[in-house]
Copies of this chain bind each other. A is one copy, B any other.
Amino acid sequence: MTVISMLSVNCDRLSRSLFQLAEIGKLPNEGVCRLAFSTEDMLARQLVQSWMVEAGMTVRIDRAGNIIGRYAGRSESAAALATGSHIDTVPVGGRYDGCLGVLAGIEMVRVLQENNVRLHHPIEVIVFTDEERSVIGAKAMAGEIQEGPDYYARLDGTSIQTCLSKIGGAWSQIATAKRDHTEVAAFVELHVEQGGVLENMGTAIGVVDGIVGQYRFAVTVVGRMNHAGTTPMNMRKDALVAAAQVVLAVNKIAVETPGEQVATVGCLNVSPNATNTVPGRVDLRIDLRDLSQAHLEFLVTLMEKEFAAIATATDTQITMRETLHILPTLAAPHIKETIQEVCEKAGLSYLHLPSRAGHDAQEIGRFTEMGMIFVPSRDGLSHSEAEYTSPEQCAQGANVLLQTFLELDRRYAIRPTAPSK
């Protein structure tokens, strides 16, 4: 009998799959353009399905277009243990973001199949629809489609109805894609870290504590437009001088408040934006992320207080409007423990960190227990042609995924039912 704790993935095979998939939509500088619902996306979906079938999985497509590859368990009545990610990319993306999670899942099943190992639980490898723009696949599985079809229309005007029908989905029946924890007992996603923490620390594996919640605010600063030559300094209400203080206040709150939050003013527009005119108005956007909703709310109150003081000091009006709020999703503690133990047994360095980017796991974690495994990405780059994770690093991540599944299979088998969420 195979000693399953000795199993490991085939580094070359995983690497070959990554490169083969990256041929579809390949860009000149090693990048990939494979937008969701494009011809390239459909070709890639075909290829991945063929690999799933070769690995002994049955494949179905739900009404949200998610591809669900299923490797039967010894108990078909047991809830599935699932992994997966996405294979669509941003317009100038790389080979690893999303694809690694899908292909490591398939590689894991290949290893089980070639070693004639069948776990207690069914294993699912899921390719979620359109993670990069709408996250519609994972949202549908979580029953979180709240917007109408117009919200999901593509930038080129193509309707979501047309898009979904191209890939085997159906907008009118998208509600049927909803699942719960009795069907999927746990979901673990392997992904490249989209920051430089692991690389900077020289650490092999990131044990993700959760996926941060996010606020976005639109801030408007209204002063008084004036001639930059003829208006004495003491008669000005310069909206940009006030907005500069807002930018620095946001940065100071993020840097100086204890915690791991990030806050950014990435977008700022000056009006009328003419060299010889004192700015009358500035519009800027704040992006704020943290793993704790309570801490996020505390940071927002700090900002509101600072902005009110700046408005008074500069004799301007500052208004702040929430434009986005996503709740944090925490990883299940016992899944984090499992990943950590796997790393320790394998002698792999690891550290705990939040995911500050969104992932399919963020939605799936709303209805079942979730965990994420990160591997380093060179220079912390993603959404870039320069995105790179070495074959060895990819294989290390895939091995941690494999061993985590083997251990979770044991743990969940002991539980009479999947844990309530």
Contact = CB atoms under 8 A, between A and B. Distances in A.
Contact of A230 (B234, B274, B356): B356
A262 B357 contact: no
Contact of A193 (B230, B233, B267): B230
Interface string A173-185: 0000000000000
Contacts of A110: none
Interface string A223-265: 0001111111111001011011101100100110000101111
A390 interface: no
Contacts of A349: none
Interface stretch (A7-15, A64-72, A194-202, A365-373): A194-202
Nearest to A264: B228
Nearest to A261: B233
A195 B285 CA distance: 33
A83 B212 CA distance: 69
Interface in A271-325: 273-279, 285, 287, 289
A91 interface: no
A380 interface: yes
Contact of A267 (B197, B274, B287): B274
Contacts of A251: 233, 238, 241
A254 B233 contact: yes
B383 A227 contact: yes
Contact of A240 (B230, B247, B289, B357): B247
Most buried by B among A229, A254, A276, A289: A229
A386 interface: no
Copies of this protein in the assembly total: 2
A270 interface: yes
Nearest to A257: B233
A17 interface: no
A336 interface: no
Contacts of A229: 194, 212, 214, 262, 287, 289, 356-358
Interface of A: 193-197, 200, 212, 214, 216, 226-235, 238, 240-241, 243-245, 247-248, 251, 254-255, 260, 262-270, 273-279, 285, 287, 289, 355-358, 380, 382-383
7 tightest Cβ-Cβ pairs between the two chains A and B: A195-B230, A228-B264, A244-B244, A244-B247, A229-B356, A194-B230, A275-B285
28 contacts: A194-B229, A195-B227, A195-B230, A195-B231, A195-B232, A196-B235, A197-B235, A226-B380, A227-B382, A227-B383, A228-B262, A228-B287, A230-B380, A231-B262, A231-B356, A232-B262, A244-B244, A264-B276, A264-B277, A265-B279, A266-B274, A266-B275, A266-B276, A266-B278, A267-B273, A267-B275, A269-B273, A275-B287
